């Protein structure tokens, strides 16, 4: 008996070529056209057309499966007849098929050319009971649901609508509706898999009801969006639609999850109690907001900024004095005072770790290494380094941050620098603190007062954060070129260290040890170019004139570029640059000799001036014009203070005319012209008083001024010499110009401690208290007036009137 059954089963099995469909389900009595691209599928279609035109169509479970096996296919498919075949190309065929009857997949053979499926017919059961009451009820429900579907989706083809509404056959509707409505292919396959008519109708009714719910929800969302839109807000349409969708899908869970993550992060950080309470409150506010709301985005940014700060993260200071000294000596030549101050700072921190952070201000001309020394300090102490430039900052909010009420608010530069360093105790360099400006938006210098005060910065409050942040462990280093523009309260909080101009020898050593090796590496010339000692000194003397070494580095780079061109062109393999070869590479010397008294001239005196880029020689010229009315002419862009010094000098000359051989009556009959060369450069300050008086006495008396003497000092109406500032820079200028003697006020004698040893060896500094001491040192006295005792020598003076008011020769050599 079992054998007969077996034979019967085998006779019911049919073998047909098969096509595995992707994303498509074909029903019986359904005409469908689709494209076939797989080689096995094309072969199956061609075989069917060549034989009985029948083929088995079955849907695969996953669309991306390229070589489907039996387990990759659904169990039920449709035996179809190929009505039409159109070959588009060798790899693409379009076919038109008509579904005939339902079949079940029994087995699948992977042939070399095509898939062969073993199938059994699987007719739908319960067709006779399809005329019952239950079937009629389901059909009515289907038609009612379809009418609702049409109101929500009126774009259905008219023939589909007509066929469904005019036909009441359960068999027809169970297949036609599933085939033509916009269901997912998995849902259509669920209808095909159902083996009973009532089951099919119920599955179709369930799918239609769910589709209606989705369409109703879409319509409700659309209505909500339309209600919230106004005529002038159409550009917000997409955002409002997304918000409505998020509301319906209950995306608030994502916001609550994100808020919980913020709270966990807050509890895990080492925060002050005030900061913790503030951030917890903001996180709880965030949990109650819409994810797509603008306020939620502001709070999210605020929390991310606050929690991204390095709370409780410190680096361990390296306080090895020997290592620090070696590193500083390796990276920087000279700067002994600066290095000593840094080593003292490390020593104090080593003995007293609880010491509060000091604020150091490095002051000096451009190019002397202020920024690089700050970076070296960070390396010595093993601290992270961050730099913030203050040049041109004129908005207080750039220092203390913007309040969150403003659009685009952000933290200030200090908090941003700490965040960049990722440490609570970094070294922060406040570069160009003397370049701060102020306007109607506030005074940034005043905003720095709290941050740079060791007694207050433990609870520094940035306007954006609005919570206390500890800056007491931060080592602040500021740089400036001119302290005169730094407000006094801010300057009071800083320990000032002055970086002097470099001497000629220092520039040579810096170029040899640091600048030249660096530029040789940068230009790919290591071992190929050599600059002799004479060449480096030639660059220093003839092609650069500065307090620092930036211009020297540019000059070295210029020379190396010329050498690189020769080597790259194959003209030579190695180049040695000497002093004599500089003009061939760079052209004539760029530094022209400055105008000053070089030949013991009458009426020309070498003064000294301070500028923000170092010291300068300031010559003063005086000429007496006979036949005048005693008028005084001042030229050379002189400031008010300097003009007043000139008036003091004239008064002194009139009062003490006899002591220096000047006829007082002739002072009334000649005009005096006082001039400071380089007239386009503004000049001011009281320190040119002695220079003006010496030039005036020289002109009126005819006594030449020594060319190897320079001087500086403020004068009083009675001839006293008062102290001045900037002696270190002024002495460097005298050293650079080859001056042998410098007259300084007695009150500046202690300032010589700051002057470089090389300068003190080359220059004789003469302290003076009164103007007559200056004049006796600076003037070349004739024998008739040789070394008189100040004002007591008036009787021995030769009056100017007896010499006929004739100007003395302009140059008298010793």
From residue 810, give the alpha-carbon distance in Å to each of 347, 472, 569, 601, 619. 59, 64, 55, 5, 15
The burial class, CB within 10 Å (0-12 / 13-18 / 19+), for 218 is: middle
The catalytically annotated residue of 188, 370, 728, 730 is: 730
In 318-434, the DSSP E strands lie at: 359-363, 385-389, 427-431
Buried b (16+ CB within 10 A) or exposed e, 132-164: eeebeebbebbbebbebbeeeeeeeeeeebeeb
Distance CA 381, CA 642 (A): 47
From residue 596, give the alpha-carbon distance in Å to each of 168, 645, 685, 734. 118, 20, 19, 11
Give how far the C-alpha of residue 551 lies from the chain's centroid of Cα atoms, to the nearest Å. 26
The length of the chain is: 814
Distance CA 103, CA 75 (A): 9
Distance CA 262, CA 251 (A): 18
Give how far the C-alpha of residue 420 lies from the chain's centroid of Cα atoms, to the nearest Å. 10
For the record, the structure tokens of 250 come out as 């209950």
Backbone angles phi, psi at 687, to 5 degrees: -75, -5
From residue 503, give the alpha-carbon distance in Å to each of 507, 544, 711, 727, 757. 6, 13, 20, 15, 10
The yes-or-no answer on residue 701 being catalytic is no
| Three-class secondary structure assignment of 295-311 | HHHHHHHHHHHHHCCCC
The yes-or-no answer on residue 730 being catalytic is yes
The catalytically annotated residue of 118, 501, 687, 698 is: 687
For the record, the structure tokens of 122 come out as 């699987």
Distance CA 503, CA 86 (A): 93
Residues 6+ apart with CB under 8 A from 565: none
From residue 685, give the alpha-carbon distance in Å to each of 337, 643, 724. 28, 9, 10
Residues 6+ apart with CB under 8 A from 100: 28, 54, 78, 79, 80, 81
Distance CA 751, CA 450 (A): 33
β pairing state of 764-768 and 460-461: unpaired
For the record, the structure tokens of 132 come out as 């019952």
Backbone angles phi, psi at 189, to 5 degrees: -65, -35
Bridge partners (DSSP) listed for residue 475:
427
From residue 336, give the alpha-carbon distance in Å to each of 87, 329, 343, 376, 734. 90, 9, 11, 14, 21
Number of Cβ within 10 Å of residue 343's Cβ equals 16
In 311-431, the DSSP E strands lie at: 359-363, 385-389, 427-431
Backbone angles phi, psi at 544, to 5 degrees: -140, 150
Residues 6+ apart with CB under 8 A from 793: 659, 785
The answer to whether 261 touches 254, Cβ cutoff 8 Å, is: no
The burial class, CB within 10 Å (0-12 / 13-18 / 19+), for 353 is: exposed
- In 3D space, the residue among 427, 429, 416, 408 whose CA is nearest the CA of residue 308 turns out to be 416
C-alpha angle with apex 789: 786 to 791, nearest 5 degrees?
A: 115
Number of Cβ within 10 Å of residue 795's Cβ equals 8
Active site residues: 687, 730
């Amino acid at each position: 008996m079992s054998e007969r059954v077996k034979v019967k089963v085998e006779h019911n099995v049919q073998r047909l070529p098969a096509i595995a469909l992707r994303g498509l389900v074909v029903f019986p009595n359904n005409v469908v056209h689709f494209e076939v691209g797989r080689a096995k599928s094309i072969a199956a279609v061609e075989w069917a057309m060549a034989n009985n035109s029948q083929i088995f169509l079955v849907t695969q479970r996953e669309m991306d499966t390229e070589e489907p096996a039996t387990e990759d296919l659904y169990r039920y498919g449709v035996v179809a007849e190929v009505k039409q075949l159109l070959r588009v190309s060798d790899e693409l065929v379009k076919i038109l098929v008509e579904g005939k009857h339902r079949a079940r997949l029994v087995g699948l053979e992977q042939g070399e050319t095509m898939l062969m499926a073993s199938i059994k017919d699987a007719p739908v059961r319960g067709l006779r009971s399809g005329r019952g009451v239950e079937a009629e009820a389901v059909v009515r429900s289907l038609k009612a649901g379809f009418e609702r579907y049409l109101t929500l989706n009126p774009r259905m083809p008219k023939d589909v609508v007509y066929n469904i509404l005019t036909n009441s056959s359960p068999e027809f509707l169970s297949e036609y509706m599933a085939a033509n409505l916009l269901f997912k292919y998995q849902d259509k396959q669920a209808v095909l898999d159902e083996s009973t008519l009532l089951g099919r109708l119920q599955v179709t009714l369930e799918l239609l009801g769910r589709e209606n719910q989705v369409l109703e929800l879409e319509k409700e969302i659309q209505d909500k969006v339309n209600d919230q839109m106004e005529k002038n807000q159409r550009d917000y349409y997409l955002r409002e639609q997304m918000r409505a969708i998020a509301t319906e899908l209950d995306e608030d869970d994502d916001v609550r999850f994100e808020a919980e993550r913020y709270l966990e992060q807050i509890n895990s950080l080492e925060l002050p109690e005030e900061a913790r309470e503030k951030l917890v409150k903001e996180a709880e506010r965030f949990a109650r907001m819409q994810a797509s709301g603008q306020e939620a985005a502001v709070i999210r940014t605020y929390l991310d900024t606050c929690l991204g700060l390095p709370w409780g993260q410190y680096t361990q200071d390296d306080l090895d004095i020997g290592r620090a000294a070696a590193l500083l000596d390796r990276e920087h030549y000279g700067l002994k005072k600066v290095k000593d101050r840094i080593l003292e700072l490390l020593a104090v921190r080593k003995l007293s770790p609880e010491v509060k952070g000091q604020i150091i201000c490095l002051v000096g001309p451009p190019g002397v290494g202020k920024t690089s020394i700050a970076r070296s300090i960070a390396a010595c102490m093993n601290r992270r380094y961050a730099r913030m430039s203050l040049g041109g900052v004129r908005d207080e909010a750039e220092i203390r941050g913007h309040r969150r009420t403003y659009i685009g608010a952000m933290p200030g530069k200090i908090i941003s620098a700490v965040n960049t360093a990722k440490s609570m105790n970094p070294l922060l360099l406040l570069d160009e603190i003397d370049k701060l400006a102020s306007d109607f938006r506030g005074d940034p210098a005043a905003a720095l007062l709290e941050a740079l005060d060791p007694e207050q910065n433990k609870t520094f409050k940035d306007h954006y954060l609005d919570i206390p942040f500890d800056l007491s462990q931060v080592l602040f280093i500021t740089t400036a070129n001119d302290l005169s523009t730094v407000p006094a309260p801010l300057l009071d909080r800083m320990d000032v260290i002055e970086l002097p101009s470099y001497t000629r020898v220092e520039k040579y050593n810096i170029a040899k040890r640091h600048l030249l090796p660096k530029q040789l590496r940068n230009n790919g010339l290591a071992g190929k170019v050599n600059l002799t000692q004479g060449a480096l000194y030639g660059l220093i003397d003839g092609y650069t004139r500065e307090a620092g070494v930036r211009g020297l580095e540019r000059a070295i780079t210029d020379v190396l570029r010329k050498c690189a061109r020769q080597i790259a062109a194959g003209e030579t393999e190695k180049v040695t640059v000497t002093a004599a070869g500089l003009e061939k590479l760079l052209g004539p010397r760029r530094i022209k000799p400055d105008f000053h008294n070089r030949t013991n001239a009458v009426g020309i005196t070498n003064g000294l001036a301070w500028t923000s880029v170092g010291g300068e020689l300031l010559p003063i010229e005086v000429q007496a014009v006979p036949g005048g009315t005693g008028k005084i002419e001042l030229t050379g862009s002189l400031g008010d203070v300097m003009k007043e010094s000139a008036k003091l000098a004239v008064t002194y000359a009139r009062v003490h005319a006899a002591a220096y051989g000047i006829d007082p009556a002739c002072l009334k009959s000649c005009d005096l012209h006082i001039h400071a060369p380089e007239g386009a450069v503004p000049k001011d300050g009281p320190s040119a008083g002695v220079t003006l008086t010496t030039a005036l006495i020289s002109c009126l008396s005819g006594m030449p001024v020594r060319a190897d003497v320079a001087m500086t000092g403020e004068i009083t109406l009675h001839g006293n010499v008062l102290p001045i500032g900037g002696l270190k820079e002024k002495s460097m200028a005298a050293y650079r110009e080859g001056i042998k003697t410098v007259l300084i006020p007695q009150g500046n004698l202690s300032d010589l401690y700051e002057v470089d040893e090389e300068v003190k060896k080359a220059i004789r500094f003469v302290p003076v208290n009164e103007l007559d001491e200056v004049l006796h040192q600076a003037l070349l006295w004739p024998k008739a007036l040789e070394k008189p005792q100040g004002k007591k020598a008036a009787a021995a003076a030769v009056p100017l009137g007896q010499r006929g008011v004739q100007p003395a020769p302009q140059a008298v050599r010793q």
